[in-house]
Structure 1
Amino acid sequence: MRRYLVPTIVLAAIGLSLGCLFRYIFNQADEGSVANYLRSGLHGTGLALTGWAVHLYFTSRSSAWVRRWPLIVELLIRSAVMAIVVAAAAIGLEAILYQHGIGERWLLGDYPKIIILTFVFTTLVGAIYELVRLVGSRVLLNVILGRYRRPTREERVLLFLDLVGSTSLAEQMGELRVQELLTRFFFDIDEAITSHGGEVHAYVGDEVIVTWRVSAKPENRTIDCFFAIRDKIAARADWYRREFGLVPEFRAGLHAGPVVISQCGDSRREVAYFGDTMNVAARLQAHCKDASRTLLVSGDLFRLLRPGPELVVEALGSTLLRGRVAPVEVFAIDRHFGRSPP
């Protein structure tokens, strides 16, 4: 997937650099030929990508079995697998890259150092990766740069997307089972969000809040994101029916405008969004039920769009949303094909 392309390239470059650095620090000066530096660089690249592949496996859907265990057991399993795979890859790469084969000096000298350095490096990368997944790459970068230490005003597009009927589902299925449904739903729609440039701001109960910075280009990616989510769930409809006996339905509100962003809290810090733009987006999502529509868009966002011929646009006029004094111009948007029922 495209979201992994950049980190894979970066890690390959770092592995190449560390391999060459290892050759410079630990090997004899008379062995410092261009060919040996190239071999060491390829060795480092191979080990970095091997560790990255193991980490990606343990963050994928295929490793759901290990996440059912207590966290300490999961960490032990991940560490053991990482150590075994990296150790095997180090030996394999040594045999492939060097014609003289695997010598005793390498096994007793370089090999333990390579394993330790690779394990430390992959563990550090894994920790950074999990931190990015926890707070988001853009948010983490802005926090590091101190962008939101003071309140900052930005033009943002906000998507509030809510699962339909979660309260009644909790009564029918039980809260734990509904939470499993939500967890799977949020997991499945994540790729559609990130591939359209969206950033998950928060999960609030059965709702996800997605945000984009307003750009100079038409904001069609925000509309496309909603329909990509709908396509993703439709493609997995049979799986949801088998697993939960239903297919998740959802409604969404989209709005654009100024948002104040600031770091809040002390013992647990959070980057929070404030302002009327948040309120309007939330009210639009709530109004979907009254309007019998699955997607409502404010006039402020609609003016930033360039709707294609595949879209059905219905002007609902100035609407007084719940909890607001001033009316909001509202548009309902759907597609000519694959329209979902309200």
Structure 2
Amino acid sequence: MNPQLAQTSSFRSRSWRLILRVAVFWYFVALAKTIYDYYLLKNNNGEVFEFINWLIGSWVACTIGLLLLGPFIVYLLYRTLRAAPYWKVLSYLLGGFTLIALVADMVAMPVIYALDNKVAVYGKESLAYAFGYLQTPNFLAVYFFWLLVTVLTVIVILVNEKYGPGMFGKLLMGQYYSPKREERVFMFLDMKSSTSIAEQIGEEDYFNLLKDCFADMTGPILDNSGEIYQYVGDEIIVCWPMKVGVEQARCVRTFFGIKLQLQRRAAYYQETYGVVPSFKAGFHFGQVMAGEIGIIKRDITYSGDVLNTAARIQSKCNDLGVDHLISGPLWDKIADEFPQGGEQVSDQIELRGRQERIDLYRAL
């Protein structure tokens, strides 16, 4: 499978699933808010609106928001603005949301007015009503309510991006408060010749080089459902739940996707830093203990022999003259995903600190 096509397909699929989940959430919120407003007015002897008409109008506004804000969240916030400062992300979000709120009002309110009064949907009366609604306190109340909903949506997306899909709910429910055993695939990714590069270009440029590299890597990692576990100097540790990591060999295809992305950006790196970075990777899987750790700064931590083994496998790349190494047990699970096969680089090699010997492979 072509890594570029696989990533594009994966990103599109992930984007559509994201927009679908946001749509379901927003339509549910619109329904709940309409029910709440209706019975609040009814129980307090207020002017009760036509429930169905307002619900239709709310869902029309949600649809406008999804059509306009959805691409912003997925393609800008979720990808392009990922490496931007938070103030810039918030500024874009606030500006985009305000513009969309105005558009949604001018589209949805004429629908509600027309349904209530049996007039043309976008006639003079309906449009005048929509424009007048912009100047009422009700519009501001609705504006800030949906701004809060949008911010909450973005926060959930960012948490899921940091810890992996579905992790927000697990953290919220405290599923990692007590340690739990999981089976995971790990990739230890390290920059080649990092010491000599740092000496060549200086500390500040080296830091910016790492920042650019990690930003470029994020797309392929997310496209293959990877979870960024840690940044350690010039090293990045990525992991997958076992089933996800071995399916379509996503763990190894992530590495190929990263190589492809850095090759695409070779001219930029050469012009900016005078070097084109390259990375080496080690892959292994096994049982780990997973749980929340920390008080002030909470994080999910994994502990287990599999991490040490994956790190030592990666350290053998230079010795064996390859850019990636896969443990024999992991290769047995993913070999069928590579039509061109693989190469056994080492037979029963001894890893530092381990008595057990292990076969090492690379994918072709």
Give the TM interval when normalised to the shorter protein. Answer: 0.7 to 0.9
- Tell me what 2:289 maps to: 260
The 3 A distance-change label for structure 1 pair 22 and 105 is: farther
**Aligned pair in 2 of structure 1 residues 281, 322: CA closer, same or farther (>3 Å)?**
same
Select the residue among 80, 84, 87 that pairs with 1:61.
80
**Which residues in structure 2 correspond to 1:193-272 (within 5 Å)?**
193-215=221-243, 220-272=249-301
Partner of 2:344: 314
Number of aligned pairs? Answer: 328
The partner residue of 2:107 within 89, 93, 97 is 93
Q: Indicate how the Cα distance of structure 1 residues 47 and 102 shifts in structure 2: closer, same or farther if over 3 A, else same.
A: farther
1:78-227 pair list within 5 angstroms: 78=92, 80-82=94-96, 84-94=98-108, 97=111, 98-99=121-122, 100-103=126-129, 106-107=133-134, 108-215=136-243, 220-227=249-256
The question of whether the paired residues in 2 share the 8 Å contact of 1:12 and 1:49 is answered with no
Amino acid at match of 2:106: G
The farther-off stretch of 168-177 and 303-312 is 303-312
What is the percent sequence identity of the aligned residues?
26
Where does 1:258-337 land on structure 2 (aligned, <5 Å)?
258-307=287-336, 308-331=338-361, 333-335=362-364
**Do the aligned partners of residues 39 and 61 (structure 1) sit closer, same or farther apart at CA in structure 2, a change above 3 Å counting?**
same
Q: Secondary structure at the match of 2:243?
A: coil
Q: 1:243: Cα distance to partner?
A: 2.9
Map of 2:61 onto structure 1:
43
Letter in 2 for 1:183: K
Residues 32/152 of structure 1: CA separation in 2 closer, same or farther (3 Å cut): closer
Deviation at 1:291, TM superposition (A): 1.0
2-structure distance, mates of 1:96, 1:239: 50
Higher helix share: 2
Q: Provide structure 1 residue ranges, at least 5 long, that are not aligned to the other structure.
A: 336-342
**What is aligned with 2:51?**
32
Q: What is residue 339 of structure 1 aligned with on the other side?
A: none
1:138 to partner: Cα distance:
4.4
8 A contact 1:14–1:45 mirrored in 2: no
Unmatched 5+ stretches in structure 2: 1-11, 42-46, 112-120
In 2 relative to 1, CA 318–219 (structure 1 residues): closer, same or farther, beyond 3 Å?
A: farther
Matched residue SS, 2:333: coil
Structure 1: distance between partners of 2:94 and 2:182: 45
| Residues 255/145 of structure 1: CA separation in 2 closer, same or farther (3 Å cut) | same
Structure 1 residue 309 displacement after superposition: 2.9
TM-score (norm 2): 0.78
Q: Structure 1 length as normaliser, TM-score?
A: 0.83
Q: CA deviation at 1:105?
A: 5.1
Matched, 1:2 2:13: yes
Q: Name the amino acid aligned to 1:119.
A: L
Is the contact between residue 320 and residue 327 of structure 1 (CA under 8 Å) also seen in structure 2?
Answer: yes
Q: Secondary structure at the match of 2:57?
A: helix
Q: Give 2:28's match in structure 1, choosing from 17, 30, 38.
A: 17
Q: Determine the structure 2 residue equivalent to 1:340.
A: none
- Give me the CA root mean square deviation: 2.9
Report the CA distance between 1:182 and its aligned residue. Answer: 1.6
Secondary structure of 1:102's aligned partner: helix
Say if 1:9 and 1:319 are closer, same or farther in 2 by CA, change over 3 A: same
| Aligned residue number for residue 338 of structure 1 | none
User: In 2 relative to 1, CA 305–117 (structure 1 residues): closer, same or farther, beyond 3 Å?
Assistant: same
Contact 1:94 1:101 in 2 (8 A): no
**Distance in 1 between the 2:132 and 2:352 partners?**
75
Q: Is the 8 A contact 1:164 1:251 kept in 2?
A: yes
**What's the CA shift for 1:250?**
0.7
Identify the range of structure 1 (101-110 vs 291-300) with the bigger mean alpha-carbon deviation: 101-110
